[in-house]
Amino acid sequence: DADVTQTPRNRITKTGKRIMLECSQTKGHDRMYWYRQDPGLGLRLIYYSFDVKDINKGEISDGYSVSRQAQAKFSLSLESAIPNQTALYFCATSNYMNTEAFFGQGTRLTVV
């Protein structure tokens, strides 16, 4: 089983719908992140959380919200999806002692 699991892997939704992307990890890390990948733009940070009671906005948080339900779970919500939120979304984890991040397999979201 993957250390960082994202569900769903693929999703097509309609404009205006609310959608939640989920991430769970078994690495025991305290820090979790949501990134968005667009062609030619690399990955950009949406939100991050350093522990259960800590939520921080990243570079591109508008139109998104997150919830850290437990140390191992971090979900990303699009309250009212719009077409320019079509992208590949990655969840990642890290530990304050480690420098590297570990990524999930990604969720490909299409908003039509």
* Residues at the interface with other proteins (CB under 8 A): 4, 31, 33, 35, 40-45, 48, 50, 58, 90, 92, 94, 96-101, 103-106
Q: Report in angstroms how near the CB of residue 72 gets to other proteins at its nearest.
A: 17
Q: 3: which DSSP letter?
A: S
Using the minimum distance from each CB to other proteins, give the nearer residue, 85 or 104. Answer: 104
| Surface-to-core class of residue 15, CB atoms within 10 Å of its CB (0-12 exposed, 13-18 middle, 19+ buried) | exposed
Using the minimum distance from each CB to other proteins, give the nearer residue, 48 or 81. Answer: 48
Q: Report in angstroms how near the CB of residue 100 gets to other proteins at its nearest.
A: 5
Q: Report in angstroms how near the CB of residue 105 gets to other proteins at its nearest.
A: 5
Q: Report in angstroms how near the CB of residue 76 gets to other proteins at its nearest.
A: 15
Using the minimum distance from each CB to other proteins, give the nearer residue, 12 or 82. Answer: 12
- CA neighbor of 47 nearest in space, from 37, 69, 32, 29: 32
Do 45 and 38 touch, CB atoms closer than 8 A?
no
- CA neighbor of 94 nearest in space, from 71, 77, 75, 64: 71
